[in-house]
Amino acid sequence: MARLFGTDGVRGLANRELTADLTLALAQSAAVVLTSGRRAEARRAEGRRATAVIARDPRISGEFLTAALSAGLASSGIDVLDAGVIPTPAAAFLVSSIGADFGVMVSASHNPAPDNGIKFFAFGGTKLPDEVEDRIEAALDADHLLPTGGEVGRIRRFADAEDRYVIHLLGTLPNKLNGLHVVLDCAHGAASAISPEVFTDAGAKVTVIAADPDGLNINDGVGSTHLDVVAAAVVAHGADIGIAHDGDADRCLAVDAQGNVIDGDQIMAILAVSMKERGHLKNDTLVATVMSNLGLHKTMEKHGIKVIQTAVGDRYVLEGLAEHDAALGGEQSGHVIMTEYATTGDGILTGLHLVAEMARTGKTITELASVMTVYPQILVNVRGVDHRALGGNAAIDAAVAAAEVELADTGRVLLRPSGTEPMVRVMVEAADQATADRLAHQLADVVKSELAL
């Protein structure tokens, strides 16, 4: 059977794959797995119940899924603090801030409104490792905790959840954002209330778009996956920068005053250089995935910053950050993790620090982004192939080697098999668009010819 947990929790079409019954059962299973161990024994010895923070983004299905979660946890003897609609990184922060035993976020991030997902955070607000998720899945078929009387959990509103998170975000800033005009695209998502408040309190002039969630319009033609909207708004309002979040606000992408996109690699380059100058870049190290642009690597080398590469996915970035005791990491998509202030990607935090660097230096975001030369990058998805046979194919290896000889140190080649479907991703970077495009399609043709099903 396929694993229930994916790369970012349990996802699916709400009320089809992701049902109230499954959600309740997951909550009861998580209660068994996440409240075991020495810390749980010490808590019980003191006569205290376990506590969980739950939160959601504003999609309509989050209401019944959160109710099912609350029921499953309370019926297992867990006290529930319901934080309502807040960003995913806010939920993670609150778990850490109040010392909750674990947390649960109901969100499908940048997916359309009919989808939803369930993501668990461990004590301290960190994501669960695969083996703990597997234990929760296995516990679906085991006996659950079924206390009675006064031993059942209580469900309460986390009344000051937003305020705690806002105060935390503002406390991370090295300087105010005075004199800067920011357009915020909140994707009709979880950032809709908090992001405008924080940027305003930090001193920026704020123009807000896509901040009217109705349960059905989350990510609908807006947000970090539709940057043309925020780009047009920045130009129309004469703003200095546009910041775009996704549905649960764990991403941040930007556009400059002319509407040009500033992607996650460029954001990391700006922040890394700034943090090193200010003594905040631990071990002078940045963690990025194998998909990060070659220009990021060359910029970091120029500034004496080591780059650690990981597989694609923010959980692998988090593992790299922990392993190398680093303070900054992320992905092109805008998942940026600043470990001094957060345990997961935080789009509002990232946006605040990006604009703070503009205020600190007096430079435009275009000038700051010029620290990195973006190499043309072509990605071709080759479908209908045996992706498991990619490694060790002599013809493909020879084609890759030839491309690498041609590119030398002016580009790179990466072939990645899909983890979920018969597809190979061919990525080529080069000094010019034409070379990248030509080599990418040549390699794609070889992959198709050699691995066709």
What is the rounded end-to-end Cα distance, in angstroms, of the chain?
Answer: 23
Our measurement of the distance from residue 149's CA atom to the centroid of its chain's CA atoms, rounded to an integer in Å, reads 40
Between CA 79 and CA 76 the distance in angstroms is 9
Long-range contacts at 140-145 (CB < 8 A, ≥ 24 apart): 140/25, 140/26, 140/29, 142/29, 142/32, 144/28, 144/29, 144/31, 144/32, 144/76, 145/28, 145/31, 145/32, 145/35, 145/76, 145/77
**Active site residue: 29, 75, 107, 109, which one?**
109
Catalytic, 109? Answer yes
The secondary element (H helix, E strand) that includes residue 85 is strand 79-85
Strand-by-strand arrangement of the 102-106 sheet: 10-13, 115-121, 102-106, 51-56, 79-85, 155-157
Between CA 248 and CA 220 the distance in angstroms is 13
**Which amino acid, 49?**
R
Between CA 19 and CA 24 the distance in angstroms is 9
Return the number of other C-beta atoms located less than 10 Å from residue 90's C-beta. Answer: 32
Between CA 73 and CA 103 the distance in angstroms is 11
Torsion of CA 379, 322, 122, 33, to 10 degrees: 90
Cβ density class 93-116: b for 16+ within 10 Å, e for less = bbbbbeebbbbbbbbbbbbebebb
Residues 2 and 12 sit within 8 Å (Cβ to Cβ): no
Coil vs helix vs strand at 118? strand
- Compute the half-sphere exposure of residue 278: CA atoms within 13 Å on the CB side of its CA: 16
Q: What is the DSSP letter of 126?
A: P
Assigned token pair, 342? 């957060």
Residue in the block written with tokens 């606000």: 249
**Is residue 212 classed exposed, middle or buried when 0-12, 13-18 and 19+ CB atoms within 10 A define those classes?**
exposed
Show which residues are catalytic.
Answer: 109
